[in-house]
Amino acid sequence: MKYWDLFISFAKVGVMTFGGGYAMIPILEREIVDRHSWATNEELMDYYAVGQCTPGVIAVNTATFIGHKQGGTLGGIIASLGIVFPSVVIITLIAGILTNFADIPAVKSAFAAIRVCVCVLIFNAVLKLWKGAVKDKAALCLFLLVFGLSVFFDISPIVFVLACAIAGIVLTQMGVRGK
C-alpha cells in the first residue's frame, strides 16, 4: 500500500505541475508535507536544492529522494515513475494534436497567458522559499551575494549551492549562524 500511495501521490503532483520544477513547489508541499507528512518543509527544500544540482529533472530528483526516504530504492523508483507518468501521457497526446493547431491565434494567446500564470506560480514558490531560508543577516547576505552574482555572471548553480553549503558550515562554526 505504501508504494501505491507513493505512486499516486507523485502522479497527482505530476499531473498538476504546469510550468516546470519551480511551479510544483506549492503542490509538493500540499501533497508531501501537509497531506502525508513524508517530509518537513525544510527537508523538501533541501531535497529540492540537491535535486537542482544533480543531473536530471528537478521534479524527478525530488520524487526520487522522497520516495527513497519512504520506501528505499523501490520507493524511489516508484515515486519517480509516478511523477513522470502523467507527463508522458499528456505530452504524447499534446504532441499528436499541437502540431496541427500551434499556429491558431487562440492557441498562441492561450500559451502566452499560461506563461504569465507560470511566472506567478514561480514567484509564489520563491516567496515561500524566502520565508523558510532567509532567517538572519548572514542568510540575507548570502542571498544578496548569490543573487547579484547570478544576475551578472554565468555561473553554474552547482557552484552556488556548494559555495553556500561551505559558507553555512563556516558561518555556523564561527558562531555567526545558529547551530
C-alpha–C-alpha distance, residues 77 and 155, integer Å: 31
Final residue belonging to a domain, choices 132, 155, 171: 132
Other C-beta atoms lying within 10 Å of the C-beta of residue 3: 16
Q: Taking a C-beta distance cutoff of 8 angstroms, is the pair 29, 44 a contact?
A: yes
Say whether both 126 and 156 belong to one domain: no
Helices (H), 1-156: 2-16, 25-28, 41-53, 58-101, 105-133, 137-152
3-state secondary structure 57-80: CHHHHHHHHHHHHHHHHHHHHHHH
Per-residue model confidence as pLDDT tens digits over 112-168? 898 898 888 888 878 888 887 888 888 899 999 999 999 999 998 889 989 998 998
Number of domains in the chain: 2
pLDDT of residue 41 exceeding 80, the answer is yes
- On whether both 70 and 157 belong to a single domain, the answer is no
- Domain interval for residue 178: 134-179
Q: Are residues 106 and 141 in the same domain?
A: no
Q: Are 111 and 15 in contact (CB under 8 A)?
A: no
Q: Are residues 80 and 41 in the same domain?
A: yes
The band of 87, judged by pLDDT with boundaries at 50, 70 and 90, is: confident
Q: Are residues 121 and 153 in the same domain?
A: no
Please give the model's pTM, rounded to 2 decimal places: 0.61
Whether 84 and 123 map to the same domain: the answer is: yes
Q: Is 111 found in the same domain as 162? A: no
